[in-house]
């Protein structure tokens, strides 16, 4: 029999329409101090060719309405502050509040990136400190903090590899990507001008070395690897893979999305990685905020330093400065120096832990293995190698009753949890990819295990209940087909 739910019950939530539906002429939510210089007529100042009267149909609502609007909307969201996100490869850990406080400090939030360098030393010291932390954690020699997200970091990393190889006479044509890789990996390689060649994982979910040796021809620039890989398993042969690649003049790129399993325990620079990126919104706790902002610093070995994006932070006459004279650089990735506010938060996180960061890594791996142990008798475990910070099950058993991973994930919502990652990695059909992170207490883990075990029972005894889940949310499963066939991407005023 399925267990009654311990974590969640239904509660009343308040309906709320669109901002534009509450708009009425003359209402406003923010007032400005009065103009203390002579007013100027916009039409006269700009001329008829350029002047605009007002933005048509822009909303007009009061402050209280705005507060209620967004507060109500917020109550429709799940969040880390409410409970665990078991999302594999996302590392949904606690977002410390002191990070929010320091990012907002006067003197940090207020600074202009082009202000005199003598008046920016505080900002630059923060950047230098974070670079140092990331160099140490990754075991690499140099870091750029410029990329805005993991995908942009990946792009930079592959571009650096390309520039390095081109500098040696031949950028080469192909990049090898495991079939288990996150979708940004092949998308990135293609954007950087490489042909993507998929290589297969072996029966243990790891890179097939023989396959790699065969595929690592002279026109291969690099292998993009994630370690631990996307089934949560440490690539034990990674140093050997690096040797094979280096022997052919190719390079090893590491997607650092899974650094939460490694920080303080082992370092990519020590096992053969040439270039890698990290996701600060994963390992370094910066908030996801519904989809970003993030930051994707890139760490490289010494010989790749000339190719880093400009500007590069350097020390000059006892102060910090930007160096834009970098003739071999891959170029600038974005205006200004990076997502500074995100970088502040990441440094605050690192300072809170110090060398104790390794405890977080240990707890993350402990939690994932605990979940594995408590669920491996009810869910199919396709790869039996030891798990690191995440575990991947499949829906093979439940499929026999017509219940698939998406159904189970949706039913998990009724139990008060956000779904785990479904249908990824591609090498596991019907995958359930679960990463608890170190932020989960035993109590929350046990509630999760209880929920998953209960759903397994439901899948066997009352599959329809699972297949039509969720049942307790404000809206049921939404018509994604209709949304894609006839996209409605904005509110339009009634005719």
Closest separation in Å from C-beta 432 to another protein: 14
Site for another protein in 221-250 (CB under 8 A): 233-234, 236, 239
The nearer residue to another protein, 1 or 302, going by C-beta atoms, is 302
Give the binding range for another protein (CB under 8 A) out of 2-10, 244-252, 258-266, 300-308. 258-266
| Residue 77: partners with Cβ closer than 8 Å, 6 or more residues away | 290
Give the binding range for another protein (CB under 8 A) out of 154-162, 243-251, 449-457, 458-466. 154-162
Q: Are 458 and 411 in contact (CB under 8 A)?
A: yes
Closest separation in Å from C-beta 244 to another protein: 16
Site for another protein in 309-338 (CB under 8 A): 309, 330-338
Closest separation in Å from C-beta 265 to another protein: 6
Q: Are 164 and 307 in contact (CB under 8 A)?
A: yes
Closest separation in Å from C-beta 122 to another protein: 3
Site string for another protein, 110-139 (x = CB under 8 A): xxxxxxx--xxxxx-xx--x--xx--xx--
Site string for another protein, 362-381 (x = CB under 8 A): xx-xx--xx--x--------
408 counts as binding another protein under rule CB under 8 A: no
Closest separation in Å from C-beta 473 to another protein: 4
Q: Are 376 and 434 in contact (CB under 8 A)?
A: no
Site for another protein in 156-215 (CB under 8 A): 159, 162, 182-184, 186-193, 196
Spatial separation of the C-alpha atoms in residues 149 and 142, rounded to whole Å: 18
Q: Are 348 and 99 in contact (CB under 8 A)?
A: yes
14 counts as binding another protein under rule CB under 8 A: no
Spatial separation of the C-alpha atoms in residues 176 and 255, rounded to whole Å: 13
Site for another protein in 437-456 (CB under 8 A): 438-442, 444
- What backbone torsions phi and psi does residue 211 show, to the nearest 5 degrees? -60, -45
| Residue 371: partners with Cβ closer than 8 Å, 6 or more residues away | 86, 391, 434, 436, 445, 448, 449
- Chain CA centroid to CA 72, Å: 26
CA nearest 261: which of 242, 276, 291, 283? 283
The nearer residue to another protein, 245 or 333, going by C-beta atoms, is 333
The nearer residue to another protein, 154 or 390, going by C-beta atoms, is 154
Own/partner contacts of 459-468, CB < 8 Å, gap of 24 or more, are: 459/397, 459/398, 459/401, 459/403, 459/407, 459/408, 460/398, 460/401, 461/1, 461/2, 462/2, 463/401, 463/402, 463/403, 465/411, 466/398, 466/403, 466/407, 466/408, 466/410, 466/411, 467/402, 467/403, 467/407
Judged by CB under 8 A, the residue of 5, 8, 29, 217 near another protein is 29
Q: Are 423 and 393 in contact (CB under 8 A)?
A: no
382 counts as binding another protein under rule CB under 8 A: no
Judged by CB under 8 A, the residue of 14, 76, 202, 247 near another protein is 76
Judged by CB under 8 A, the residue of 164, 284, 304, 340 near another protein is 340
297 counts as binding another protein under rule CB under 8 A: no
- What backbone torsions phi and psi does residue 142 show, to the nearest 5 degrees? -150, 150
SS3 at position 96:
coil
Judged by CB under 8 A, the residue of 102, 242, 252, 278 near another protein is 102
Site for another protein in 36-65 (CB under 8 A): 36-40, 42, 45-47, 49-61, 63
494 counts as binding another protein under rule CB under 8 A: no
12 counts as binding another protein under rule CB under 8 A: no
């Amino acid at each position: 029999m399925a267990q009654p739910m311990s974590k969640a019950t239904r509660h009343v939530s308040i309906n709320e329409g669109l901002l534009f539906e509450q708009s009425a002429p003359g209402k406003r939510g923010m007032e400005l101090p009065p103009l203390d210089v002579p007013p100027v007529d916009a039409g006269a100042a700009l001329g008829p060719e350029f002047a605009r009267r007002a933005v048509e149909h822009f909303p007009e609502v009061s402050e209280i309405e705005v507060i209620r609007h967004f507060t109500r909307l917020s109550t429709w969201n799940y969040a880390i502050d409410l409970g665990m996100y078991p999302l594999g490869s996302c590392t949904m850990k606690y977002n410390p509040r002191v990070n929010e406080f320091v990012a907002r400090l006067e003197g940090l939030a207020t600074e202009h990136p082009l202000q005199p360098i003598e008046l920016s030393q505080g900002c630059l010291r923060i950047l230098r400190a974070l670079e140092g932390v990331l160099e140490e954690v990754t075991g690499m020699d140099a870091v750029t903090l410029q990329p805005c997200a993991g995908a942009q970091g990946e792009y930079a990393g592959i571009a650096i590899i390309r520039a390095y190889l081109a500098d040696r006479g031949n950028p080469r044509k192909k990049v090898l990507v495991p079939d288990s890789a996150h979708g940004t990996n092949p998308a990135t390689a293609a954007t950087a001008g490489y042909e993507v060649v998929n290589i297969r994982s072996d029966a243990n979910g790891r890179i097939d070395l023989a396959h790699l040796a065969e595929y690592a021809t002279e026109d291969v620039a690099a292998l993009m690897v994630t370690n631990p890989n996307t089934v949560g398993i440490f690539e034990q042969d990674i140093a050997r893979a690096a040797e094979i690649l280096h022997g052919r003049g190719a390079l090893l790129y590491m997607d650092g999305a899974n650094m939460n399993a490694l920080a303080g325990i082992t370092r990519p620079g020590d096992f053969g990685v040439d270039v890698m990126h990290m996701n600060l919104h994963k390992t370094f706790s910066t908030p996801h905020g519904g989809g970003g902002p993030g930051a994707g610093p890139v760490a490289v070995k010494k010989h790749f330093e000339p190719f880093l994006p400009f500007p590069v932070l350097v020390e000059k006459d006892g102060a910090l400065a930007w160096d834009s004279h970098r003739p071999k650089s891959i170029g600038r990735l974005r205006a200004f120096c990076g997502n500074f506010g995100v970088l502040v938060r990441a440094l605050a996180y690192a300072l809170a832990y110090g060398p104790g960061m390794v405890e977080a890594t240990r707890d993350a791996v402990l939690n994932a293995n605990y979940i594995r142990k408590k669920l491996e008798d009810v869910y199919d475990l396709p790869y039996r190698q030891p798990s690191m910070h995440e575990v991947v099950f499949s829906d093979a058993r439940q499929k026999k009753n017509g219940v698939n991973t998406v159904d189970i994930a949706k039913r998990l919502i009724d139990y008060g949890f956000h779904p785990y990652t479904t249908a990824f990695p591609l090498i596991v059909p019907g995958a359930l990819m679960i990463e608890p992170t170190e932020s989960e207490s035993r109590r929350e883990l046990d509630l999760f295990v209880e929920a998953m075990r209960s759903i397994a029972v439901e899948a066997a005894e009352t599959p329809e209940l699972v297949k039509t889940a969720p049942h307790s949310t404000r809206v049921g499963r939404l018509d994604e087909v209709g949304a894609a066939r006839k996209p409605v991407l904005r509110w339009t005023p009634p005719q």
